[in-house]
Structure 1
Amino acid sequence: MEERFPFHYSLLEYLFTLLGLLLFLLDIALDIWTVVSFYQDGAYVYMAVMIFLLLGSSVLLQVFSWLWYSDSLDRIETNVEKFANKHLLINPIHFLQLGVYLRYAGVIEISTTHFLRHTNSFTEGVAVYLNYDLLMLRLFETFSENAPQLTLMMSIILQRGELEIITGLKILTSAAAIASSVAMYHRGMRAFLPEKRKMSWISTGIYFLWNLLVIIPRVSALALFCSVLPCYIIAHFLSWWMLLFLAAWSQKTNYMEHSGWEWLFRAAVGLIWYFCWFNISTGSIKSKTILYYSLMALDTVMLLGFWCWKVFEYAGCWSSLSPYVVIPTLLGLYVIGILVKIIYYRWFHPNCDEKKISEPTERQSTFAPACYNIETDANQRPFLCAIAAAPAPAPAPAEPLTGVPSRHRKMAANFYS
């Protein structure tokens, strides 16, 4: 019997993958242009910070990509990845910082094959989980490169008191990258829901909106603080990141296949938490989110307070940038973002029982909707089990299904908790 995935990979998601690749390439081109512009202007400190952000983010992405490939070399499905594996190119490609492009090539290859040749649902499911890995990598890139770059560019504008073309373009592309990665991560989670509980584009829009409304005040407060006290932003980041890293460690995550690398995932989570909330554990998250947003609100108020204290003494700031307007506006956006988040979780977020995602079953009802689960068999590729949401009078024998790595199931269980 043919293996299959009960996942659906739509043409729209395929087009978004292509758009993501184009934005990724555009961002790299603008990064190079920015570094060259800083060099020509003699802004060597800014140039060094940009290069550090670019290299640090790229290395982080390549390490995650290489680890995920190392865990699944025997389950590679695309021709381009099989070719790279056969000729022992996986390691060199990641050493040259090209691992993300290899993943894009794999997703585009199998997606194009699926849409042009109308292949079976197995290839459609492979496209889903390959695309999910890309979404996770783009999420890491967003908060290790784009969000810090956005902070840097905004602080440069404040210090110079003028908006240049290159900094304006970088602000727009960084903001677009943040918005698109958050929204597409939300869309990627839809694959783990039964059809009757699929999230609409309205829910994606609300999810995107509340994240944007809380990220803008956070990044703006960091940029304002950095514009007047640039030497203290590093100390601020390191102190908060260490605290958030320890908080992620206390959650006892098991995202990575090898527990020895779990510290890297927790470090990446701490980096994301510096800008935005990201759930990494199941169960009730109300107390965690209340504590997180309360601490972030206090820190944002503190950053804005230091900026207000120094802004009248610092000649580089725009005279028209009044603290009496900026501070209430940013705090108002933050509060509105929290309210939109409450609306999303109250009416648009489809909570799903963790057991329905994580427990396998030997039978699947042909009549009842199901939540999907991923488990790993030591003797064969991972397989996908569908769990009936309600008993059916005549359950059909389970088919041998193929699925995705366990990290996808774990993140889906966290997302729908």
Structure 2
Amino acid sequence: MESPIFSKYSWLDFLFSVVGVCTYLFDLGSDIWVATEFYSRGDFFWFGVLIGLMVLSSVVIQMFSWFWFKYDRELEGFDSQSAENILFGLCVKLSFTLHVLQLGFFCRHISAIWHGFRVWWRREQGSEYAVYLTHDLSMLRLIETFCESAPQLTLMTHIMLHTNRARTVQCVSVVASTTSIAWMVVDYHRSLRSFLPDKAKQGWCSALVYFLWNLLLIAPRVGAVALFSTVLPSYIAAHFLLIWPVLVFWVWRQQTDFMDSTGGEWLYRATVGLIWYFSWFNVAEGRTRGRSIIYHAFMAIDGGILLVTWWFYRDPVLTQCYAPILLYTLPLAYLTGLFLKTLYYCCFHPTLWRPAVEVELELTDGQEGLFRSAAPRSDTPEFRNKRMARQATYFYSGREAH
């Protein structure tokens, strides 16, 4: 009897893993290409900013991967299932070295593809573990997207607006970052829906609406920040450092429990604060509709201030061809995104089908609950990704989960 909290690993899961690593490599390759172009042209400031974003994002991702690696090794039955995993089958010191060399995230990709291939193509056992790996990768790609792709998209947009021209390499970087963000949105949502097997199949219309409202809310935010940075570049860092601690404090007030250690939890809260700088991300149970309304109202006001500041400080001659269009298009896009988000939650958003008490019991059993169901059905442990299971309960806990 299948575990009610998982859908089985399928060819689509394998495809998403392959596309995910290809997107990651394409994004990394485009970043290196852009950095090389900056260096060769003598734009050392932009070169340094881009390298800084790449290093910061990589370090954050490796830290999450390493924390999860340590947490998972302490769980019952994990070693026997992960013995052939490229990353987890290694000794602790070697795995730590891979993370220090910034290769842990890539090894997770390869491990997920290899294990998924064995499960799907060779019809071997281990479907739950393969799904477990893809869930972690989905969350890591989400973090990587907003730690690197979103800031880089803002940077490339700023450079094109500041110089009033677009080079091929910059366009490639914008396309790569946009593709990474779009793929993350679909992949992460699909990963969460796998915790609702009776609603796991998402129609194309629902997926399209979900993709569009995220894109239409993120793009105006990136555009407003990029425009503001073209007229007051020295103030954009101050703007981020003023808002980010407030967002982190708000995350802390919601008493998140995503990680299994205090240090890991504060890393998670700091990362969520960065994600919130660009997009809403639900992290706690409760009446989240009010929190979502407060967040979007705050971001709308902040984005409006950034846009109005840019309008009054801009160069009227250099920006006359696109300034009026952006002044009306960005707010309209944001309002359209809010409308589509409301439409999605009214018509397409599923809710948890299991009673709240039963879900809580299964998710708070401690470490053993990550792997085994309350009622044993076979000798093979069934893996439950506690981290992503919590995220699913927050995302699908009733109609108020916005």
Fold agreement, TM-score > 0.5: yes
Q: 1:15 to 1:197 in 2, by over 3 A?
A: closer
Q: TM-score, structure 1 length as denominator?
A: 0.88
- Quote the residue 2:400 is aligned against: none
Q: 1:5 to 1:307 in 2, by over 3 A?
A: closer
Residues 299-332 of structure 1 deviation map (CA, whole Å, 9 limit, x = unaligned) = 010000011011136x6x443112x321111101
Q: How does 1:151-300 map to 2 (within 5 A)?
A: 151-196=154-199, 198-300=201-303
- Quote the residue 1:16 is aligned against: 16
- Quote the residue 1:134 is aligned against: 137
Residues 234-281 of structure 1 deviation map (CA, whole Å, 9 limit, x = unaligned) = 000111111101000100101101133211100000000000000001
> 2: distance between equivalents of 1:262 and 1:67?
10
- Quote the residue 1:407 is aligned against: 387
Residues 71-101 of structure 1 deviation map (CA, whole Å, 9 limit, x = unaligned) = 1125143413367523731100000000011
1:110 deviates by: 1.1
Is 2:114 the partner of 1:109?
yes
1:106 deviates by: 1.4
Aligned residues: 389
1:198 deviates by: 4.2
Residues 102-157 of structure 1 deviation map (CA, whole Å, 9 limit, x = unaligned) = 1112111110001121123xx11111111111111110111110000000000100
Which piece of structure 1 moves more, 106-115 or 267-276? 106-115
1:344 deviates by: 0.7
> 2: distance between equivalents of 1:157 and 1:6?
45
> 2: distance between equivalents of 1:197 and 1:19?
20
- Quote the residue 1:370 is aligned against: none
The question of whether the paired residues in 2 share the 8 Å contact of 1:382 and 1:404 is answered with: yes
The question of whether the paired residues in 2 share the 8 Å contact of 1:245 and 1:269 is answered with: yes
Report the AA paired with residue 193 of structure 1.
Answer: L
Is 2:126 the partner of 1:143?
no
Residues 361-416 of structure 1 deviation map (CA, whole Å, 9 limit, x = unaligned) = xxxxxxxxxxxx584455x9721358xxxxxxxxxx75565222422221111111
> 2: distance between equivalents of 1:251 and 1:53?
28
Is 2:372 the partner of 1:383?
yes
Residues 6-44 of structure 1 deviation map (CA, whole Å, 9 limit, x = unaligned) = 432221221121111011111111111111111111111
> 1: distance between equivalents of 2:151 and 2:357?
37
> 2: distance between equivalents of 1:236 and 1:5?
42
> 2: distance between equivalents of 1:94 and 1:288?
36
Report the AA paired with residue 45 of structure 2.
Answer: V
The partner residue of 1:86 within 44, 68, 91 is: 91
3-state SS of 2:85 partner = helix
> 2: distance between equivalents of 1:175 and 1:60?
20
> 1: distance between equivalents of 2:139 and 2:21?
14
1:205 deviates by: 2.0
Q: 1:399 to 1:334 in 2, by over 3 A?
A: same
> 1: distance between equivalents of 2:109 and 2:270?
25
Q: 1:196 to 1:183 in 2, by over 3 A?
A: closer
Q: 1:244 to 1:87 in 2, by over 3 A?
A: closer
Report the AA paired with residue 111 of structure 1.
Answer: G
- Quote the residue 1:319 is aligned against: 320
The question of whether the paired residues in 2 share the 8 Å contact of 1:80 and 1:106 is answered with: yes
1:282 deviates by: 1.0
Gaps of 5+ in 1: 361-372, 387-396
Report the AA paired with residue 302 of structure 2.
Answer: D
Gaps of 5+ in 2: 398-402
Report the AA paired with residue 408 of structure 1.
Answer: M
The question of whether the paired residues in 1 share the 8 Å contact of 2:154 and 2:223 is answered with: yes
The question of whether the paired residues in 2 share the 8 Å contact of 1:155 and 1:223 is answered with: yes
Report the AA paired with residue 358 of structure 1.
Answer: E
The question of whether the paired residues in 1 share the 8 Å contact of 2:7 and 2:197 is answered with: no
1:46 deviates by: 0.6
Q: 1:87 to 1:221 in 2, by over 3 A?
A: closer
The question of whether the paired residues in 1 share the 8 Å contact of 2:153 and 2:177 is answered with: yes
3-state SS of 2:373 partner = strand
> 2: distance between equivalents of 1:12 and 1:414?
25
Q: 1:413 to 1:83 in 2, by over 3 A?
A: closer
Q: Which has the larger radius of gyration?
A: 1
> 2: distance between equivalents of 1:83 and 1:69?
7
> 2: distance between equivalents of 1:403 and 1:301?
46
> 2: distance between equivalents of 1:181 and 1:11?
19
Q: Percent identity?
A: 38
The question of whether the paired residues in 2 share the 8 Å contact of 1:374 and 1:404 is answered with: no
Which piece of structure 1 moves more, 47-56 or 188-197? 188-197
The question of whether the paired residues in 2 share the 8 Å contact of 1:5 and 1:124 is answered with: no
- Quote the residue 2:69 is aligned against: 69
3-state SS of 2:93 partner = coil
